[in-house]
Structure 1
């Protein structure tokens, strides 16, 4: 099976037959306080909580969030909704290890301070200028505003756990890179 891909060292020219049909379902970040994190992602970024899964024996909870479209039909039955959730693309999984919210000294590494590793997630918005104003109104912490630095039309903000979120408007990205 052949499909479009840009060329770069290490890129397969064809999709391996064994990998046909694989899709990226979700990326996970750990959160200290679920109430703060859920408030941020649902109020500031308009995400919806699709599924909450508790694992008492392991003392953690998973929260699966996404941006829903009006045509999305989310099943009401919990088991069907779980299956539906795990068949979607591009979800954000927030993992809460119980008790972290009670420790004032506890913090996760955001991946951008040394040693660097994980970087960020990214949201595409319909209007970057309006989004920047919205973030200001919501008291969101900025790392970089749209007109700061050498890379214009890109915003970086922090979530309650210090993870970076890139915010772009796709129509403004045409001239990015070489």
Structure 2
């Protein structure tokens, strides 16, 4: 029998009409695409799958993913766009043009008051190696793996102040109830 999710108050049976639905991406607004793309590509190893510009509305979208050699990413732009929107775990960075030129401009990170959005999460194969990598690349730590009440979890910040949780999957097995 296949897993059908945990049961909690408010959970309804999965409607057959939602078969094939999948979570595609999360969007973060960024001030400076050069800084943000440098961080996500150099520090977190993500690749830009597609950039979409909307001249009439003065913004650009950058869709990033961790791509493995086994992924057959289309070279053709239209096919790659469709492929991007069919994936799971994509990060969309939205740049409203001109924000990078305003020294006082900043987006709310969701963790300062009033709290709202919390963080995104990246899973890594080796937490200690990842922490050393972040140190070597001057990442801003909120919490290291050996700090706080929840051990084996790292939090770093991206250039816009958004929090990124970093976990090693097998170390999460014993967390919580």
The answer, yes or no, to whether TM exceeds 0.5 is: yes
Distance across 2 between alignment mates of 1:140 and 1:3: 38
Compute the displacement of 1:174 (Å).
Answer: 1.3
Quote the residue 1:36 is aligned against: 35
Q: Partners in 2 of 1:174 and 1:54 — Cα distance?
A: 41
Distance 2:135 2:115 in 1: 27
- Give the stretch that moved more between structures: 14-23 or 91-100: 14-23
TM-score (norm 1): 0.97
Shift of 1:3: 4.7
Map Cα deviations across residues 42-74 of structure 1 (whole Å, 9 max, x no partner).
000100110000000000000000000111111
Alignment match, 1:6? 6
Aligned 8 A contact 1:3 1:15 in 2: no
Once residues 99 and 86 of structure 1 are traced to their aligned partners in structure 2, the CA distance between those partners, rounded to angstroms, is 27
For 1:86-127, what per-residue CA distance to the aligned partner results, in whole angstroms no more than 9, with x for missing partners?
Answer: 111110000000000000000000000111110000000000
1-structure distance, mates of 2:144, 2:79: 41
* Runs of 4+ in structure 1 over 6 Å off: none
How many Å apart are 1:11 and its aligned residue? 1.4
Contact 1:25 1:90 in 2 (8 A): yes
Q: Partners of 2:84 and 2:169 in 1: how far apart?
A: 26
Q: Does 1:169 align with 2:168?
A: yes
Structure 2: 5+ residue runs without aligned partners? none
Give the corresponding residue for 1:24.
Answer: 23
CA–CA separation in structure 1 for the residues paired with 2:25 and 2:162: 16
User: Aligned residue pairs: how many?
Assistant: 176
Q: CA RMSD in A?
A: 0.9
Runs (5+) with no aligned partner, structure 1: none
State whether structure 2 residue 38 is matched by structure 1 residue 57: no
Aligned twin of 2:148? 149
How many Å separate the matches in 2 of 1:48 and 1:54? 17
How much does 1:150 deviate?
0.6
- Rounded to whole Å, the distance in 2 between the matches of 1:87 and 1:174 is 29
